[in-house]
Structure 1
Amino acid sequence: MKRLFIFLGLTFVLTWIVEFTLMANGGLSGPYAYIVLAGIMFIPALSVVITRLITKEGFKNFGLKPRFKGHIRYYVTAWFAPSLLIVCGALFYFLISPSHFDLTMSNMFQLYRAQGADATQSTLMASFLAQVVVGLLFGPLLNIITTLGEEIGWRGYLLPKLMEMVSGRKAVAISGAIWGLWHAPVIAMGYNYGFDYAFFPWGGILAMIVFGFFAGSFLSYLAIRTKSVLPAAIAHGSLNGFAAISVWVTIGQTSPFIGPLPVGIIGGFGLIVLGTVCFYLIGQPTAAAASDANPS
Protein backbone atom coordinates (compact mmCIF):
# COMPACT_ATOMS: atom_id res chain seq x y z
CA MET A 1 0.00 0.00 0.00
CA LYS A 2 2.85 2.37 0.82
CA ARG A 3 4.44 1.69 -2.55
CA LEU A 4 1.12 2.31 -4.31
CA PHE A 5 0.61 5.63 -2.56
CA ILE A 6 4.14 6.76 -3.41
CA PHE A 7 3.77 5.69 -7.05
CA LEU A 8 0.35 7.27 -7.52
CA GLY A 9 1.33 10.43 -5.64
CA LEU A 10 4.41 10.93 -7.80
CA THR A 11 2.60 10.11 -11.03
CA PHE A 12 -0.37 12.40 -10.45
CA VAL A 13 1.54 15.29 -8.89
CA LEU A 14 4.26 15.38 -11.55
CA THR A 15 1.80 14.92 -14.41
CA TRP A 16 -0.71 17.46 -13.21
CA ILE A 17 1.97 20.08 -12.46
CA VAL A 18 3.14 19.83 -16.07
CA GLU A 19 -0.40 19.77 -17.48
CA PHE A 20 -1.71 22.69 -15.42
CA THR A 21 1.38 24.64 -16.45
CA LEU A 22 0.55 23.77 -20.06
CA MET A 23 -3.05 24.86 -19.46
CA ALA A 24 -1.86 28.24 -18.19
CA ASN A 25 0.30 28.72 -21.28
CA GLY A 26 -2.06 28.21 -24.16
CA GLY A 27 -3.20 24.65 -23.53
CA LEU A 28 -3.30 22.31 -26.50
CA SER A 29 -3.05 25.22 -28.93
CA GLY A 30 0.48 26.00 -27.75
CA PRO A 31 3.32 25.33 -30.22
CA TYR A 32 4.92 22.64 -28.07
CA ALA A 33 1.77 21.12 -26.58
CA TYR A 34 2.00 17.71 -28.16
CA ILE A 35 5.70 17.42 -27.44
CA VAL A 36 4.84 18.09 -23.79
CA LEU A 37 2.06 15.48 -23.89
CA ALA A 38 4.45 12.93 -25.36
CA GLY A 39 6.89 13.67 -22.55
CA ILE A 40 4.16 13.25 -19.94
CA MET A 41 3.69 9.64 -21.05
CA PHE A 42 7.09 8.83 -19.52
CA ILE A 43 6.06 10.03 -16.05
CA PRO A 44 4.44 6.75 -14.89
CA ALA A 45 7.63 4.82 -15.72
CA LEU A 46 9.76 7.49 -14.04
CA SER A 47 7.53 7.27 -10.96
CA VAL A 48 8.03 3.49 -10.86
CA VAL A 49 11.80 3.93 -10.86
CA ILE A 50 11.67 6.58 -8.11
CA THR A 51 9.24 4.47 -6.04
CA ARG A 52 11.46 1.38 -6.30
CA LEU A 53 14.47 3.43 -5.22
CA ILE A 54 12.68 5.07 -2.30
CA THR A 55 11.21 1.81 -0.99
CA LYS A 56 14.36 -0.23 -1.81
CA GLU A 57 12.15 -2.65 -3.75
CA GLY A 58 14.74 -3.24 -6.42
CA PHE A 59 14.04 -3.79 -10.10
CA LYS A 60 13.03 -7.44 -10.25
CA ASN A 61 9.76 -8.07 -12.12
CA PHE A 62 9.99 -4.78 -14.00
CA GLY A 63 7.78 -6.15 -16.78
CA LEU A 64 10.02 -5.74 -19.82
CA LYS A 65 10.88 -9.38 -20.50
CA PRO A 66 9.20 -10.27 -23.84
CA ARG A 67 8.08 -13.86 -23.06
CA PHE A 68 7.30 -14.78 -26.68
CA LYS A 69 7.19 -18.52 -26.10
CA GLY A 70 3.58 -19.67 -26.15
CA HIS A 71 2.33 -16.08 -26.33
CA ILE A 72 2.74 -15.09 -29.99
CA ARG A 73 -1.04 -14.92 -30.45
CA TYR A 74 -1.23 -12.22 -27.80
CA TYR A 75 1.41 -10.14 -29.56
CA VAL A 76 -0.41 -10.50 -32.89
CA THR A 77 -3.68 -9.52 -31.20
CA ALA A 78 -2.00 -6.55 -29.55
CA TRP A 79 -0.57 -5.38 -32.87
CA PHE A 80 -3.68 -5.61 -35.05
CA ALA A 81 -6.83 -5.83 -32.91
CA PRO A 82 -7.04 -2.14 -31.82
CA SER A 83 -6.69 -0.83 -35.38
CA LEU A 84 -9.19 -3.29 -36.82
CA LEU A 85 -11.70 -2.62 -34.05
CA ILE A 86 -11.34 1.15 -34.52
CA VAL A 87 -12.19 0.65 -38.21
CA CYS A 88 -15.15 -1.56 -37.30
CA GLY A 89 -16.44 1.02 -34.83
CA ALA A 90 -16.13 3.82 -37.39
CA LEU A 91 -17.91 1.75 -40.05
CA PHE A 92 -20.67 0.96 -37.57
CA TYR A 93 -21.04 4.67 -36.85
CA PHE A 94 -21.16 5.59 -40.54
CA LEU A 95 -23.81 2.94 -41.19
CA ILE A 96 -25.96 4.57 -38.54
CA SER A 97 -25.04 8.14 -39.62
CA PRO A 98 -24.22 7.94 -43.36
CA SER A 99 -24.54 11.72 -43.73
CA HIS A 100 -21.25 12.05 -41.82
CA PHE A 101 -19.34 9.82 -44.24
CA ASP A 102 -17.45 11.62 -47.01
CA LEU A 103 -15.24 9.53 -49.26
CA THR A 104 -14.17 12.69 -51.10
CA MET A 105 -12.48 13.83 -47.87
CA SER A 106 -13.62 17.42 -48.41
CA ASN A 107 -12.73 18.52 -44.87
CA MET A 108 -9.19 17.26 -45.28
CA PHE A 109 -9.05 18.86 -48.75
CA GLN A 110 -9.93 22.26 -47.24
CA LEU A 111 -7.36 21.76 -44.48
CA TYR A 112 -4.63 21.00 -47.02
CA ARG A 113 -5.57 24.06 -49.06
CA ALA A 114 -5.64 26.28 -45.95
CA GLN A 115 -2.06 25.20 -45.24
CA GLY A 116 -1.00 26.03 -48.79
CA ALA A 117 -0.62 22.41 -49.91
CA ASP A 118 -1.46 21.49 -53.49
CA ALA A 119 -4.10 18.87 -52.75
CA THR A 120 -6.00 16.83 -55.31
CA GLN A 121 -8.41 13.95 -54.91
CA SER A 122 -5.73 11.46 -55.92
CA THR A 123 -3.08 12.87 -53.58
CA LEU A 124 -5.58 12.90 -50.70
CA MET A 125 -6.51 9.28 -51.34
CA ALA A 126 -2.85 8.31 -51.55
CA SER A 127 -2.14 10.09 -48.26
CA PHE A 128 -5.12 8.43 -46.61
CA LEU A 129 -4.08 4.95 -47.76
CA ALA A 130 -0.52 5.63 -46.61
CA GLN A 131 -1.86 6.62 -43.18
CA VAL A 132 -3.86 3.40 -43.01
CA VAL A 133 -0.90 1.20 -43.97
CA VAL A 134 1.56 2.98 -41.67
CA GLY A 135 -0.90 3.00 -38.77
CA LEU A 136 -1.81 -0.66 -39.16
CA LEU A 137 1.65 -2.09 -39.79
CA PHE A 138 4.03 0.32 -38.09
CA GLY A 139 1.95 2.35 -35.62
CA PRO A 140 2.61 0.04 -32.65
CA LEU A 141 6.36 0.11 -33.27
CA LEU A 142 6.51 3.87 -33.84
CA ASN A 143 4.60 4.57 -30.63
CA ILE A 144 6.03 1.90 -28.35
CA ILE A 145 8.64 4.10 -26.66
CA THR A 146 6.05 6.53 -25.30
CA THR A 147 3.43 3.88 -24.58
CA LEU A 148 5.97 1.87 -22.62
CA GLY A 149 6.36 4.96 -20.46
CA GLU A 150 2.73 4.54 -19.44
CA GLU A 151 2.45 0.76 -19.43
CA ILE A 152 5.44 0.22 -17.14
CA GLY A 153 3.47 2.24 -14.61
CA TRP A 154 -0.15 1.21 -15.14
CA ARG A 155 0.00 -2.44 -16.19
CA GLY A 156 3.54 -3.21 -15.03
CA TYR A 157 3.40 -1.77 -11.50
CA LEU A 158 -0.04 -0.56 -10.41
CA LEU A 159 -1.99 -3.60 -11.65
CA PRO A 160 0.19 -6.29 -10.05
CA LYS A 161 0.24 -4.42 -6.74
CA LEU A 162 -3.56 -4.18 -6.75
CA MET A 163 -3.88 -7.86 -7.64
CA GLU A 164 -1.96 -8.73 -4.48
CA MET A 165 -4.75 -7.09 -2.46
CA VAL A 166 -8.00 -7.58 -4.41
CA SER A 167 -9.40 -9.87 -7.11
CA GLY A 168 -8.23 -9.62 -10.70
CA ARG A 169 -11.42 -7.94 -11.89
CA LYS A 170 -11.41 -5.39 -9.09
CA ALA A 171 -7.75 -4.64 -9.76
CA VAL A 172 -8.44 -4.11 -13.47
CA ALA A 173 -11.46 -1.89 -12.76
CA ILE A 174 -9.55 0.23 -10.22
CA SER A 175 -6.44 0.58 -12.38
CA GLY A 176 -8.54 1.45 -15.44
CA ALA A 177 -10.43 4.13 -13.53
CA ILE A 178 -7.17 5.59 -12.18
CA TRP A 179 -5.68 5.59 -15.68
CA GLY A 180 -8.72 7.45 -17.02
CA LEU A 181 -8.71 9.97 -14.16
CA TRP A 182 -5.01 10.64 -14.76
CA HIS A 183 -6.06 12.28 -18.07
CA ALA A 184 -8.38 14.80 -16.34
CA PRO A 185 -6.36 18.01 -16.95
CA VAL A 186 -5.91 17.34 -20.68
CA ILE A 187 -9.60 16.48 -20.98
CA ALA A 188 -10.28 19.88 -19.39
CA MET A 189 -8.08 21.36 -22.15
CA GLY A 190 -10.35 19.85 -24.81
CA TYR A 191 -8.44 16.65 -25.53
CA ASN A 192 -10.63 13.89 -27.06
CA TYR A 193 -13.98 15.56 -26.30
CA GLY A 194 -13.52 19.26 -27.03
CA PHE A 195 -15.30 21.97 -25.04
CA ASP A 196 -18.83 22.19 -26.38
CA TYR A 197 -20.76 19.65 -24.32
CA ALA A 198 -22.95 19.58 -21.24
CA PHE A 199 -21.25 19.31 -17.85
CA PHE A 200 -17.86 20.34 -19.26
CA PRO A 201 -15.29 19.14 -18.24
CA TRP A 202 -16.74 16.59 -15.81
CA GLY A 203 -18.68 14.75 -18.49
CA GLY A 204 -15.51 14.30 -20.55
CA ILE A 205 -13.51 13.19 -17.51
CA LEU A 206 -16.18 10.60 -16.65
CA ALA A 207 -16.23 9.39 -20.26
CA MET A 208 -12.44 9.03 -20.17
CA ILE A 209 -12.68 6.97 -16.98
CA VAL A 210 -15.18 4.67 -18.72
CA PHE A 211 -12.90 4.43 -21.74
CA GLY A 212 -10.00 3.68 -19.39
CA PHE A 213 -11.95 0.77 -17.95
CA PHE A 214 -12.71 -0.92 -21.29
CA ALA A 215 -9.36 -0.22 -22.98
CA GLY A 216 -7.56 -0.96 -19.71
CA SER A 217 -9.29 -4.34 -19.43
CA PHE A 218 -7.86 -5.34 -22.81
CA LEU A 219 -4.37 -4.05 -22.01
CA SER A 220 -4.46 -5.67 -18.56
CA TYR A 221 -5.50 -9.00 -20.04
CA LEU A 222 -2.50 -8.94 -22.37
CA ALA A 223 -0.13 -8.10 -19.51
CA ILE A 224 -1.56 -10.77 -17.21
CA ARG A 225 -1.55 -13.52 -19.82
CA THR A 226 2.01 -12.87 -21.00
CA LYS A 227 3.46 -11.66 -17.67
CA SER A 228 4.95 -8.75 -19.64
CA VAL A 229 3.99 -5.14 -20.33
CA LEU A 230 5.29 -5.29 -23.91
CA PRO A 231 2.04 -6.57 -25.50
CA ALA A 232 0.09 -3.90 -23.61
CA ALA A 233 2.50 -1.24 -24.88
CA ILE A 234 2.15 -2.58 -28.43
CA ALA A 235 -1.65 -2.51 -28.23
CA HIS A 236 -1.56 0.97 -26.66
CA GLY A 237 0.66 2.13 -29.52
CA SER A 238 -1.72 0.63 -32.07
CA LEU A 239 -4.63 2.41 -30.41
CA ASN A 240 -2.85 5.77 -30.36
CA GLY A 241 -1.58 5.42 -33.91
CA PHE A 242 -4.95 4.60 -35.48
CA ALA A 243 -7.43 6.45 -33.25
CA ALA A 244 -7.98 9.44 -35.55
CA ILE A 245 -8.07 7.62 -38.90
CA SER A 246 -11.82 8.20 -39.33
CA VAL A 247 -11.27 12.00 -39.34
CA TRP A 248 -10.16 11.70 -42.95
CA VAL A 249 -13.61 10.58 -44.15
CA THR A 250 -15.81 12.48 -41.69
CA ILE A 251 -17.93 15.50 -42.57
CA GLY A 252 -20.32 17.61 -40.54
CA GLN A 253 -20.73 18.08 -36.81
CA THR A 254 -20.24 14.86 -34.85
CA SER A 255 -20.24 14.16 -31.14
CA PRO A 256 -17.02 12.67 -29.75
CA PHE A 257 -19.17 10.94 -27.13
CA ILE A 258 -20.90 9.02 -29.94
CA GLY A 259 -18.38 8.54 -32.76
CA PRO A 260 -16.82 7.89 -35.18
CA LEU A 261 -13.72 8.21 -32.98
CA PRO A 262 -13.04 5.26 -30.62
CA VAL A 263 -13.66 7.40 -27.52
CA GLY A 264 -17.35 7.47 -28.52
CA ILE A 265 -19.86 4.82 -27.50
CA ILE A 266 -20.54 3.78 -31.12
CA GLY A 267 -17.11 4.48 -32.58
CA GLY A 268 -15.63 2.54 -29.68
CA PHE A 269 -18.15 -0.28 -29.84
CA GLY A 270 -15.56 -2.87 -30.89
CA LEU A 271 -13.21 -1.89 -28.07
CA ILE A 272 -16.09 -2.00 -25.60
CA VAL A 273 -16.93 -5.56 -26.64
CA LEU A 274 -13.30 -6.65 -26.53
CA GLY A 275 -12.76 -4.98 -23.15
CA THR A 276 -15.86 -6.67 -21.76
CA VAL A 277 -14.70 -10.10 -22.95
CA CYS A 278 -11.22 -9.54 -21.50
CA PHE A 279 -12.69 -8.36 -18.20
CA TYR A 280 -14.72 -11.57 -18.02
CA LEU A 281 -11.70 -13.75 -18.88
CA ILE A 282 -9.59 -12.04 -16.23
CA GLY A 283 -12.04 -13.37 -13.67
CA GLN A 284 -11.40 -16.94 -14.76
CA PRO A 285 -8.88 -18.99 -12.72
CA THR A 286 -6.32 -19.35 -15.51
CA ALA A 287 -6.12 -15.60 -16.09
CA ALA A 288 -6.50 -14.40 -12.54
CA ALA A 289 -3.90 -16.47 -10.77
CA ALA A 290 -1.71 -14.41 -8.52
CA SER A 291 1.40 -15.69 -10.22
CA ASP A 292 0.18 -14.20 -13.50
CA ALA A 293 -0.21 -10.80 -11.91
CA ASN A 294 3.51 -10.11 -11.77
CA PRO A 295 5.08 -9.21 -15.13
CA SER A 296 8.82 -9.75 -15.15
Structure 2
Amino acid sequence: MESYIINDRAMNKQDPNIVQKSRKGLVVFFAWLVPLTFLSYILALHVSPIFGLLLMWSPGLSSVLTRLLLREGFADISFRFRGNLAFKSIPFVLLFPVIIGLLAYGFAWITGLADFVHTDNSYIWSLVISIVYQMFVGTLIGILSSASEELGWRGYMLSRLITAGVPKPILTSGLIWGVWHFPAILLGSYYSGPSLILSIILFMIAISSFNFIISQLRLST
Protein backbone atom coordinates (compact mmCIF):
# COMPACT_ATOMS: atom_id res chain seq x y z
CA MET A 1 0.00 0.00 0.00
CA GLU A 2 1.41 3.37 -0.98
CA SER A 3 1.75 6.15 1.57
CA TYR A 4 1.40 9.82 0.68
CA ILE A 5 3.12 11.42 3.64
CA ILE A 6 3.63 15.11 2.85
CA ASN A 7 7.27 16.11 2.91
CA ASP A 8 9.48 18.84 1.52
CA ARG A 9 10.51 16.75 -1.47
CA ALA A 10 6.91 16.20 -2.56
CA MET A 11 5.92 19.81 -1.90
CA ASN A 12 8.79 21.05 -4.04
CA LYS A 13 7.66 18.79 -6.91
CA GLN A 14 11.01 17.00 -7.06
CA ASP A 15 9.34 13.63 -7.51
CA PRO A 16 7.32 13.49 -10.77
CA ASN A 17 5.96 10.09 -9.77
CA ILE A 18 4.26 11.50 -6.67
CA VAL A 19 2.96 14.49 -8.62
CA GLN A 20 1.40 12.24 -11.26
CA LYS A 21 -0.17 9.90 -8.71
CA SER A 22 -1.53 12.82 -6.70
CA ARG A 23 -3.17 14.32 -9.77
CA LYS A 24 -4.67 10.94 -10.63
CA GLY A 25 -5.98 10.71 -7.07
CA LEU A 26 -7.65 14.10 -7.39
CA VAL A 27 -9.33 13.10 -10.66
CA VAL A 28 -10.70 9.90 -9.12
CA PHE A 29 -11.75 11.74 -5.94
CA PHE A 30 -13.83 14.26 -7.89
CA ALA A 31 -15.16 11.49 -10.14
CA TRP A 32 -16.68 9.95 -7.00
CA LEU A 33 -17.60 13.24 -5.32
CA VAL A 34 -19.69 14.82 -8.09
CA PRO A 35 -22.18 11.95 -8.62
CA LEU A 36 -22.39 11.22 -4.86
CA THR A 37 -23.18 14.88 -4.21
CA PHE A 38 -25.79 14.97 -6.99
CA LEU A 39 -27.39 11.75 -5.75
CA SER A 40 -27.49 13.05 -2.18
CA TYR A 41 -29.34 16.22 -3.21
CA ILE A 42 -31.87 14.23 -5.26
CA LEU A 43 -32.56 11.85 -2.37
CA ALA A 44 -32.71 14.64 0.22
CA LEU A 45 -35.16 16.69 -1.85
CA HIS A 46 -37.42 13.91 -3.14
CA VAL A 47 -37.14 11.06 -0.62
CA SER A 48 -36.18 12.26 2.86
CA PRO A 49 -34.13 15.09 4.43
CA ILE A 50 -32.16 12.39 6.29
CA PHE A 51 -30.16 11.96 3.08
CA GLY A 52 -28.61 15.33 3.88
CA LEU A 53 -26.32 13.26 6.09
CA LEU A 54 -25.23 11.31 3.00
CA LEU A 55 -24.42 14.65 1.38
CA MET A 56 -22.13 15.59 4.24
CA TRP A 57 -20.52 12.15 4.09
CA SER A 58 -19.92 12.27 0.33
CA PRO A 59 -16.42 13.89 0.57
CA GLY A 60 -15.26 11.30 3.09
CA LEU A 61 -16.77 8.40 1.18
CA SER A 62 -15.16 9.69 -2.02
CA SER A 63 -11.75 9.80 -0.35
CA VAL A 64 -12.11 6.29 1.09
CA LEU A 65 -13.25 4.85 -2.25
CA THR A 66 -10.37 6.61 -4.03
CA ARG A 67 -7.82 5.26 -1.55
CA LEU A 68 -9.16 1.74 -1.96
CA LEU A 69 -9.37 1.93 -5.76
CA LEU A 70 -5.85 3.34 -6.18
CA ARG A 71 -4.41 1.33 -3.26
CA GLU A 72 -3.00 4.43 -1.65
CA GLY A 73 -3.44 3.30 1.93
CA PHE A 74 -4.63 5.33 4.92
CA ALA A 75 -1.38 6.20 6.71
CA ASP A 76 -1.47 9.91 5.81
CA ILE A 77 -4.89 10.52 7.38
CA SER A 78 -2.96 10.98 10.66
CA PHE A 79 -5.51 9.85 13.23
CA ARG A 80 -2.78 9.54 15.84
CA PHE A 81 -1.96 12.30 18.33
CA ARG A 82 1.42 13.96 17.98
CA GLY A 83 2.17 14.52 21.65
CA ASN A 84 2.20 18.01 23.10
CA LEU A 85 1.69 19.65 19.69
CA ALA A 86 -1.77 18.15 19.34
CA PHE A 87 -2.79 18.76 22.95
CA LYS A 88 -1.68 22.40 22.75
CA SER A 89 -3.94 22.83 19.73
CA ILE A 90 -7.09 21.49 21.43
CA PRO A 91 -7.80 24.63 23.54
CA PHE A 92 -7.44 26.77 20.42
CA VAL A 93 -9.80 24.50 18.50
CA LEU A 94 -12.44 24.74 21.24
CA LEU A 95 -12.09 28.48 21.85
CA PHE A 96 -11.69 29.67 18.25
CA PRO A 97 -15.41 29.46 17.29
CA VAL A 98 -16.40 30.96 20.65
CA ILE A 99 -14.15 33.99 20.14
CA ILE A 100 -15.23 34.48 16.53
CA GLY A 101 -18.88 34.09 17.51
CA LEU A 102 -18.65 36.60 20.36
CA LEU A 103 -16.85 39.11 18.14
CA ALA A 104 -19.32 38.73 15.27
CA TYR A 105 -22.53 38.64 17.30
CA GLY A 106 -21.18 41.09 19.85
CA PHE A 107 -20.57 43.63 17.10
CA ALA A 108 -24.04 42.98 15.68
CA TRP A 109 -25.68 43.43 19.10
CA ILE A 110 -23.73 46.57 19.98
CA THR A 111 -24.39 48.26 16.64
CA GLY A 112 -28.04 47.22 16.51
CA LEU A 113 -27.65 45.07 13.40
CA ALA A 114 -29.18 42.20 15.37
CA ASP A 115 -31.37 42.03 18.47
CA PHE A 116 -30.18 40.26 21.59
CA VAL A 117 -33.40 38.78 22.97
CA HIS A 118 -33.62 37.56 26.57
CA THR A 119 -36.52 36.95 28.93
CA ASP A 120 -34.95 37.60 32.35
CA ASN A 121 -31.72 38.51 34.09
CA SER A 122 -30.44 34.93 33.95
CA TYR A 123 -29.72 35.22 30.23
CA ILE A 124 -25.96 35.52 30.82
CA TRP A 125 -25.86 32.13 32.53
CA SER A 126 -28.01 30.65 29.78
CA LEU A 127 -25.55 31.99 27.20
CA VAL A 128 -22.54 30.61 29.10
CA ILE A 129 -24.16 27.19 29.57
CA SER A 130 -25.08 27.10 25.88
CA ILE A 131 -21.50 27.95 24.83
CA VAL A 132 -19.98 25.29 27.10
CA TYR A 133 -22.53 22.72 25.92
CA GLN A 134 -21.76 23.41 22.27
CA MET A 135 -17.99 23.31 22.87
CA PHE A 136 -18.10 19.76 24.20
CA VAL A 137 -21.43 17.95 23.64
CA GLY A 138 -22.10 19.88 20.43
CA THR A 139 -18.63 19.00 19.16
CA LEU A 140 -19.18 15.28 19.78
CA ILE A 141 -22.56 15.39 18.02
CA GLY A 142 -21.08 17.40 15.14
CA ILE A 143 -18.43 14.75 14.58
CA LEU A 144 -21.13 12.41 13.23
CA SER A 145 -21.65 14.69 10.25
CA SER A 146 -18.56 16.88 9.89
CA ALA A 147 -15.92 14.17 10.37
CA SER A 148 -16.52 12.91 6.86
CA GLU A 149 -15.97 16.35 5.36
CA GLU A 150 -12.61 16.49 7.13
CA LEU A 151 -11.71 13.04 5.81
CA GLY A 152 -12.41 14.31 2.31
CA TRP A 153 -11.38 17.97 2.22
CA ARG A 154 -8.43 18.20 4.61
CA GLY A 155 -7.72 14.49 4.96
CA TYR A 156 -7.42 13.84 1.24
CA MET A 157 -8.00 16.72 -1.19
CA LEU A 158 -5.71 19.23 0.53
CA SER A 159 -2.76 16.86 0.79
CA ARG A 160 -3.14 15.81 -2.86
CA LEU A 161 -3.36 19.44 -4.01
CA ILE A 162 -0.04 20.03 -2.24
CA THR A 163 1.76 16.98 -3.60
CA ALA A 164 0.26 17.54 -7.07
CA GLY A 165 1.95 20.94 -7.18
CA VAL A 166 -1.29 22.94 -7.45
CA PRO A 167 -0.58 26.67 -6.83
CA LYS A 168 -1.89 28.03 -3.50
CA PRO A 169 -3.37 24.69 -2.42
CA ILE A 170 -5.00 26.00 0.77
CA LEU A 171 -6.78 28.81 -1.06
CA THR A 172 -7.76 26.43 -3.86
CA SER A 173 -9.15 23.88 -1.41
CA GLY A 174 -11.15 26.59 0.34
CA LEU A 175 -12.70 27.78 -2.91
CA ILE A 176 -13.60 24.21 -3.92
CA TRP A 177 -15.11 23.61 -0.48
CA GLY A 178 -17.17 26.77 -0.83
CA VAL A 179 -18.39 26.04 -4.37
CA TRP A 180 -19.47 22.56 -3.21
CA HIS A 181 -21.98 24.34 -0.94
CA PHE A 182 -23.50 26.44 -3.76
CA PRO A 183 -26.51 24.13 -4.37
CA ALA A 184 -27.37 24.31 -0.65
CA ILE A 185 -27.16 28.11 -0.79
CA LEU A 186 -29.36 28.27 -3.87
CA LEU A 187 -31.88 25.97 -2.18
CA GLY A 188 -32.04 28.27 0.84
CA SER A 189 -30.10 26.29 3.45
CA TYR A 190 -27.29 28.86 3.75
CA TYR A 191 -29.11 31.81 2.22
CA SER A 192 -30.04 34.63 4.59
CA GLY A 193 -30.72 38.27 3.86
CA PRO A 194 -32.07 40.38 1.02
CA SER A 195 -29.35 39.54 -1.55
CA LEU A 196 -28.45 36.07 -2.79
CA ILE A 197 -25.28 37.36 -4.46
CA LEU A 198 -24.14 39.09 -1.26
CA SER A 199 -24.83 35.91 0.72
CA ILE A 200 -22.68 33.88 -1.70
CA ILE A 201 -19.83 36.41 -1.58
CA LEU A 202 -19.84 36.61 2.22
CA PHE A 203 -20.10 32.82 2.47
CA MET A 204 -17.07 32.35 0.22
CA ILE A 205 -15.04 34.88 2.21
CA ALA A 206 -16.01 33.24 5.51
CA ILE A 207 -15.45 29.64 4.43
CA SER A 208 -12.12 30.39 2.69
CA SER A 209 -10.88 32.18 5.80
CA PHE A 210 -12.02 29.35 8.05
CA ASN A 211 -10.44 26.82 5.70
CA PHE A 212 -7.07 28.57 6.08
CA ILE A 213 -7.20 28.11 9.87
CA ILE A 214 -8.25 24.46 9.90
CA SER A 215 -5.92 23.56 7.01
CA GLN A 216 -2.96 24.97 8.93
CA LEU A 217 -4.08 22.99 11.99
CA ARG A 218 -4.36 19.81 9.95
CA LEU A 219 -0.90 20.24 8.36
CA SER A 220 0.85 21.29 11.57
CA THR A 221 -0.60 18.65 13.89
Give the TM interval when normalised to the shorter protein: 0.7 to 0.9
Where in structure 2 are the equivalents of 1:60-99 lying within 5 Å?
60-97=75-112
Give the Å deviation of 1:43.
1.4
- Which residue of the partner structure matches residue 115 of structure 2? 101
Structure 1: 5+ residue stretches without partners: 26-31, 106-120, 227-296
Do the aligned partners of 2:40 and 2:54 also contact (CA within 8 Å) in 1? no
1:210 equivalenced with 2:209 (yes/no): no
- Which residue of the partner structure matches residue 44 of structure 2? 22
1:176 equivalenced with 2:174 (yes/no): yes
Read off the aligned partner of 1:78 and give its amino acid letter: V
Matches of 2:155 and 2:172, distance apart in 1: 14
Do the aligned partners of 2:109 and 2:116 also contact (CA within 8 Å) in 1? no
Do the aligned partners of 1:183 and 1:208 also contact (CA within 8 Å) in 2? no
**Secondary structure in 2 matching 1:66:** coil
Matches of 2:46 and 2:158, distance apart in 1: 33
**Secondary structure in 2 matching 1:191:** coil
Do the aligned partners of 2:40 and 2:52 also contact (CA within 8 Å) in 1? no
* Superposition RMSD in Å: 2.6
Give the Å deviation of 1:216.
0.4
- Which residue of the partner structure matches residue 185 of structure 1? 183
Where in structure 2 are the equivalents of 1:243-282 lying within 5 Å?
none
1:106-141 per-position Cα deviation (integer Å, ceiling 9, x unaligned): xxxxxxxxxxxxxxx589877655422211333222
Structure number with higher helix proportion: 2
Assess, with a 3 A threshold, how the Cα gap between structure 1 residues 49 and 136 changes in structure 2: closer, same or farther.
closer
Structure 2: 5+ residue stretches without partners: 1-22
Where in structure 2 are the equivalents of 1:36-47 lying within 5 Å?
36-47=51-62
Assess, with a 3 A threshold, how the Cα gap between structure 1 residues 37 and 207 changes in structure 2: closer, same or farther.
farther
Give the Å deviation of 1:70.
2.8
**Secondary structure in 2 matching 1:65:** coil
Give the Å deviation of 1:54.
1.4
Q: Percent identity?
A: 25
How many residues matched? Answer: 199
Matches of 1:103 and 1:203, distance apart in 2: 26
Do the aligned partners of 2:29 and 2:62 also contact (CA within 8 Å) in 1? yes
Matches of 2:68 and 2:202, distance apart in 1: 35
**Secondary structure in 1 matching 2:85:** coil
